[in-house]
Amino acid sequence: MLIRVDPTRDEPLFVQVAGSVRADIAAGVLRAGDRLPSAREVAAALDVNLHTVLRAYQELRDEGLVDMRRGRGAVVTDAATPLTALHDDVEALVARARALGLSSDTLASLIKEQR
């Protein structure tokens, strides 16, 4: 698992960390029962504040994708399984949007508007 962030982007670092973990879950790199690296390890590797990583992990916990327990760390839950099932569909949608000339921001807006 490789968590990626780009400090030059406008998106907050904690959002990028959480998004990177979500992407690894969707791609099948992370599965239910897998343990995430400790927040300290991630913070040191990315050269970011520990609280940035903790906030990302808490966001993932609030979404039900990880379970966080003292002494056990953050573990991917069974609730993450549907992300993997949608991975191919999402890739196909992104490819179709690109072929139509839509920006990723436009596609994201269209998705957010769906109910």
Q: Is 115 helix (H, G, I), strand (E, B) or coil?
A: coil
Q: Quick check: is 104 in a domain?
A: no
pLDDT greater than 80 at residue 13: yes
pLDDT of residue 86: 87
Question: What is the per-residue pLDDT across 71-109, written as a single tens digit (0 to 9) for each?
Answer: 788 999 999 888 888 888 988 999 999 999 999 889 988
**Mean pLDDT over all residues of the chain?**
92
Q: Quick check: is 101 in a domain?
A: no
pLDDT of residue 39: 94
Number of independent structural domains in the chain: 1
Of 12, 6, 23, nearest to 80 by C-alpha is 23
Range of the domain at 54: 13-84
Q: Quick check: is 114 in a domain?
A: no
Q: Quick check: is 102 in a domain?
A: no
- The number of CA neighbours under 13 Å toward the Cβ of 24 is 21
Q: Quick check: is 52 in a domain?
A: yes
Q: Quick check: is 4 in a domain?
A: no
| This prediction's pTM | 0.80
Q: Quick check: is 24 in a domain?
A: yes
Q: Quick check: is 100 in a domain?
A: no
Of 42, 43, 38, 44, nearest to 71 by C-alpha is 38
Answer yes or no: are the C-beta atoms of 21 and 36 closer than 8 Å. yes
pLDDT greater than 90 at residue 32: yes
CATH of the domain at 76: 1.10.10.10
